[in-house]
Amino acid sequence: MTILRHALIALAALFATAAPAQAADKLVLAFGDSLTAGYQLPPGQGFAPQLEAALRKSGVPARVHNAGVSGDTTAQGRARLGWVLNALKAKPDLAIVELGANDMLRGLPPAQARANLDAIMTEFKKRDIPVLIAGMRAAPNLGADYRRRFDSIFPDLSKKYGAPLYPFFLDGMIGNRGLHIGDNLHPNANGVAVIVKGILPQVRSALTK
């Protein structure tokens, strides 16, 4: 019996050492406005939960922390970023920055949005947190000059900080009313699914490289 007992213990130890280690969940910080927050969407249907589910389904164990605030401009995002990061229990493995739409909709100066987003990127760099920039595009009715100055913010910051860029967060949604809630501006659950499908490859790449 003693010999058998020792053999079983040794066998159990062998299997314990041979078992693959379970990778800890990656932490993704989704930092943005109502497009990130899940404006008027039921729990589980916003950007953060849908992205988390898509990552897990694709084999990347991750938690996506929803730090979206409806109505936020780049200035408001800049003002709360330090508090958001300090409140987290762990340092994010990736931050997705999705801000600028409200600046554009209010016709705020692109130079102001650029300065705020630059400061946000600086803060993430200081804390050694990788960033995926989710770009935005100005509405045509704002004029060619405004569009040029606004749209260039995101590729310029991507180049400056060496951060990957998803060029247009709402790619695939514009002109499709079936992907919006009643205001024809914010995505419904199906619209969020389109956003997640588009951005997922870059999020996976950033988390697995």
Catalytic residues: 34, 183, 186
CB neighbourhood size of 144 (10 A): 9
Q: Which of 182, 148, 189, 152 has the alpha carbon at shortest distance from 167?
A: 152
Secondary structure of residue 207 in the 3-state scheme: helix
User: Alpha carbon of 18 to those of 11, 14, 22, 24: distances in Å?
Assistant: 11, 6, 12, 18
Q: Which of 1, 75, 4, 93 has the alpha carbon at shortest distance from 33?
A: 75
Q: Which residue has the tokens 């935005």?
A: 136
Give 7's contacts (C-beta < 8 A, 6+ positions apart).
none
